[in-house]
Amino acid sequence: MGIVGNLNTQQFQSFNSQGFLVMESFASPEEIEAMRKRMDELLQDFDPTTTASIFSTKNQIQLTSEYFYESAEKISFFFEEKAFDDNRNLKQSKELSINKVGHALHEIDPVFKEFSCSEKVSSLLFSLGYKRPVIIQSMYIFKQPGIGGEVSPHQDNSFLYTEPKTCTGLWLALEDATVVNGCLWAIPESQKNGLVRRFIRGEDGVYFDRPSPSYDQKDFVPIEVKAGSLVVIHGDLIHQSFENQSPNSRHAYSWHVVDTDGCKWAEDNWIKRKVEPEPLYAS
């Protein structure tokens, strides 16, 4: 039996055609439990009075702060928009109020680093054609019951741009993801239309270089997956997720990879850092 991450010809062709690929049982129950347990520990140690940073794709430009910028090299905590009352107090426990934790789990935390840099992930990336891949960001996404926020239609290359474009998103379901609790939705083959806009960090903050196109919701298909499934996402694929209005959470671990071989990291990306290959990904 081959390494789990090796793509066969059919999987590779499907990814290039559809713009995404679901790999079932990519993570074992033990790996899922280890990451969930570790996040519980990180949350226990987090003091919510130290920050009230909110993450929202609807108000991304207005809510981007120095805390967000610095999270590129830290483990930082971001609340749901609906987590606070009118007096800026949490409506419920911090464990049920966090939107996501990011963006350097893969680099700082040993549990997340071990999985992110595992042989099966490395094998997957090389079978996708990467030469010197590097993880550029990672995040643990909670999609909280009842308040888990919507993620607007977007392309990952907008935020993590290289010349030529090389971003791939890896989205691991740590719980079953359904249309009820806020699974991913995507427009199949939309990556073939190229990148529609970029998210740029300038001297006065961040901005999109052009307005978002309007999308017909009928073009999106749901990507419902079981816990342990990995969704591989092309950097130009249009994808989104809706609010979680169910009583069940939808935990996921997501990380993004770019190539460093023959590629240039755009200096006006929101992440301002030297991009070097992760030694564990060396071929």
Between the alpha carbon of residue 97 and those of residues 48, 152, 209, 283, the distances in Å are 10, 20, 32, 40
Q: Pick the residue with more confidence: 29 or 148?
A: 29
Distance (Å, rounded) from C-alpha 170 to C-alpha 164?
19
| Confidence (pLDDT) at 1 | 39
User: Confidence class of residue 57 from pLDDT cuts 50, 70 and 90?
Assistant: low
pTM: 0.93
In the predicted model, is pLDDT for residue 171 greater than 80?
yes
**What is the per-residue pLDDT across 228-244, written as a single tens digit (0 to 9) for each?**
999 999 999 999 999 99
**Domain membership flag for residue 277:** no
Give me the number of domains the chain comprises. 1
**Domain membership flag for residue 82:** no
Quote the mean pLDDT of the chain: 91
| Confidence (pLDDT) at 81 | 85
Domain CATH number, residue 253: 2.60.120.620
The order of strands in the sheet holding 75-79 is 20-23, 230-234, 168-173, 252-259, 133-141, 98-103, 75-79
**Domain membership flag for residue 169:** yes
| Confidence (pLDDT) at 49 | 84
**Domain membership flag for residue 133:** yes
Q: Pick the residue with more confidence: 156 or 62?
A: 156
**Domain membership flag for residue 34:** yes
| Confidence (pLDDT) at 14 | 98
The dihedral of CA 111, 116, 117, 122: what is its sign? Answer: positive
| Domain interval for residue 126 | 9-44+100-265
**Domain membership flag for residue 69:** no
**What is the per-residue pLDDT across 177-231, written as a single tens digit (0 to 9) for each?**
999 999 999 999 999 999 999 999 998 889 999 999 999 999 999 999 999 999 9
**Cis ω before 103 (30° cut-off from 0):** yes
Strand locations in 142-220, DSSP E? 151-154, 162-163, 168-173, 184-186, 199-202, 205-208
Q: Pick the residue with more confidence: 272 or 277?
A: 272
In the predicted model, is pLDDT for residue 89 greater than 70?
yes
User: Confidence class of residue 67 from pLDDT cuts 50, 70 and 90?
Assistant: confident
In the predicted model, is pLDDT for residue 253 greater than 60?
yes
Q: What is the mean pLDDT of residues 145-152?
A: 92
